[in-house]
Amino acid sequence: MLLLGGIALILTGMIFGDIFAVFVLHQNAARVEEGLSAAAHAAVAGDSTSVGGSFRDIGSFLENRGTKVDTHVHMVDFGYLALLLAIVQPWVAFAEKTKRGLGWMFLAGAWLLPAGVFCIHYVGLAYSLLRAIGWASIFADLGGGCVQLATAAYLVGLCKRFRSPIAVVDGLLELRTNAAQRLLAGGLVLVVLGFAHGAYYAATDLYRHEAADYEILSRVVAGSASQDAVRVDAALAEYGQLQGDKAVKIAAHAHIIEFGLLAMILAFFQPYVNLSERWRARWVVVLLTGSVLLPVCVLFELKFGLFAGGLADVGGLMVIVALVAMWIGIVRYGGRLDDSGESAS
């Protein structure tokens, strides 16, 4: 249940992320830039009413973007956590019924939180009893609470098992197949590369970006106050470049680590993927190639524009297709067990 539910969460999160990247992300960024430009030009003209209106629009665009990014990230991360909890199940010292109940609680929360976050932008504060938090946020927090409770309960179950002398043997951890070893090795390399890139970004860009953000906005504000529209436009163009540079570097860092982690987790489930060794190896290659292609192309998106963006989407699609193939393999494995159970009875 946690295994299939986890992969379903990851797949839905990835497909949602792809749709968001293609149809919402760039358009939304352009609207934010237009809003900022409108606010700056209203300030140049001395029209403080229009400044307020432009910032209300910007706030709405940013909320729309932020909630969709959060939906994507939480769905994928809860999927990963579900897979990891599925692997440690043999060591959780609870009755099967309790474990299943906790699994349902985890999955319910893992779907409720992203669904709630997605609705925040559309529901707002309608009928809310609180001044700042709407119903969608309340349901999202409730979902988060379910996930936390279930995870904490699994932790207690693990602690109980570790205190008991009974040894647990689990074939999942043997990593006998070539596909599993390649996924583990490839995933680990991706994670290490992602860490190195993150450290490089923190050392060279993070503080520079923060300083530039403030410095450019100061120039926009100063230009507006002195009614210097040329200075304002130059600074706004620079601000757009800065936001783009920041976004692609953070996205590349996050995606390479997430895909590495996914590959490592999937390594443990290869014995459950009921496909021939040749096809398993093929899907591993597709998954790892897509995992490299997406972050690398995202990184080059500012330099090569739509070409790199398109290739990044292809990379994302490759990961999704490989994941669907493995998911089908696991469903087939479940079906095989059911068949053998029926014939035995």
Partner 1 sequence: MSAARRILLLGGIALAIVGMCHGTWYAVFAEHQALDRIGGSLATAFTHASERNAAQATVALDVYREAKYAHERQVDAHGHWIGLAMLLIVVGMAFDRISLVEKQKLALAIGLLAGATLFPLTVLLQIFSHGALPRVLTIASSALMIATLAITAVGLFANRASS
Binding mask 175-204 for partner 1 (x = CB under 8 A): x-----x--xx--xx-xx--xx-xx--x--
Write the CB contacts of 269 (distance below 8 Å, at least 6 apart in sequence).
Answer: 3, 83, 87, 172, 326, 330
Total residues binding partner 1 (CB under 8 A): 74
The label of the residue with tokens 């995870």 reads 151
CB of 184 to partner 1, least distance (A): 6
Span of 2-10, 94-102, 259-267, 306-314 interacting with partner 1 by CB under 8 A: 259-267
Q: Which span sits near partner 1 by CB under 8 A: 58-66, 307-315, 321-329, 330-338?
A: 58-66
d(CA 58, CA 43): 15
Query: Does the protein bind partner 1 through residue 222 (CB under 8 A)?
Result: yes
- Indicate which single residue of 55, 201, 300, 333 sits in contact with partner 1 (rule: CB under 8 A): 55
Residue 23: CB atoms within 10 Å: 10
* 294 neighbors 320 (Cβ within 8 angstroms): no
What residues numbered 304-343 form the site for partner 1, per CB under 8 A? none
CA gap 279, 250 in Å, rounded: 33
Interaction with partner 1 in 20-49: which residues (CB under 8 A)? Answer: 39-40, 42-48
**Per-residue contact flags (x/-) with partner 1 for residues 134 to 173, judged by CB under 8 A:** ---x--xx--xx-xx--xx-xx--xx--x-----x----x
**Class of residue 226 by CB neighbours under 10 A (exposed 0-12, middle 13-18, buried 19+):** exposed
Residue 26 or 246 with smaller CB distance to partner 1: 246
Instruction: Compare residues 71 and 137 and give the one whose CB is closer to partner 1.
Output: 137
Using rule CB under 8 A, residue 237 touches partner 1: no
Cα 306 to Cα 324: distance, rounded to the nearest angstrom:
27
Does 115 help bind partner 1 (rule: CB under 8 A)? no
Cα(111)–Cα(58) distance, integer angstroms: 29
- Mark the segment that binds partner 1 (CB under 8 A) among 8-16, 264-272, 286-294, 305-313: 264-272
| CA 235 centroid distance within chain | 32
